[in-house]
């Protein structure tokens, strides 16, 4: 396998956060688009990668775990409806995600992006396609 590198600029980081914030706002208005859930999954994977690679506070890990459980719960619902409590978790996660990305250097974010890309098959929960959530480990 070739040595790949992903270089993200500060503008790319701003766009990532803006996309997630826009998804949360759309979810608050009742949107059930798959794109929004995928943005939450991406946010979860990046947060998980930061926790795995860096010494993060317990609060970050707790929020990431709540985010993961929320995404799984919404996916399990037939109508993929977000409850008020789910939206509160998303808002809390987005705030932590925002702080996390803006406090990291561009090199750290690029390193995390590459880590997520290279280890996506090893994550505990992976969205394969459609509504299907598969667990790769038991």
Q: What is the pTM of this model?
A: 0.78
- 86-130 pLDDT, tens digit per residue, is 999 999 999 999 999 889 888 888 888 888 777 766 555 444 333
- Least confidently predicted of 13-22, 25-34, 62-71, 117-126: 117-126
Spatial separation of the C-alpha atoms in residues 118 and 98, rounded to whole Å: 23
Which residues, including other chains, have CB under 8 Å from residue 109's CB and lie 6 or more apart? 8, 13, 101
Model pLDDT, residue 123: 52
Look at the block and give the residue holding tokens 């996506």: 120
Higher pLDDT, 138 or 81: 81
């Amino acid at each position: 396998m070739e040595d790949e590198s992903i270089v993200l600029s500060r503008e790319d980081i701003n766009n990532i956060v803006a996309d997630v914030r826009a998804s949360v706002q759309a979810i608050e208005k009742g949107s059930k688009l798959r794109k929004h859930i995928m943005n939450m999954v991406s946010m979860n994977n990046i947060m998980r990668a930061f926790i795995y690679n860096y010494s993060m506070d317990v609060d970050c890990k707790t929020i990431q775990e709540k985010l993961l459980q929320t995404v799984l719960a919404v996916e399990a619902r037939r109508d993929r409806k977000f409850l008020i409590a789910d939206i509160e978790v998303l808002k809390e996660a987005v705030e932590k995600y925002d702080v996390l990305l803006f406090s990291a250097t561009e090199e750290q974010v690029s390193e995390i992006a590459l880590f997520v890309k290279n280890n996506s098959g090893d994550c505990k929960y992976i969205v394969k396609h459609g509504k299907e959530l598969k667990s790769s480990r038991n």
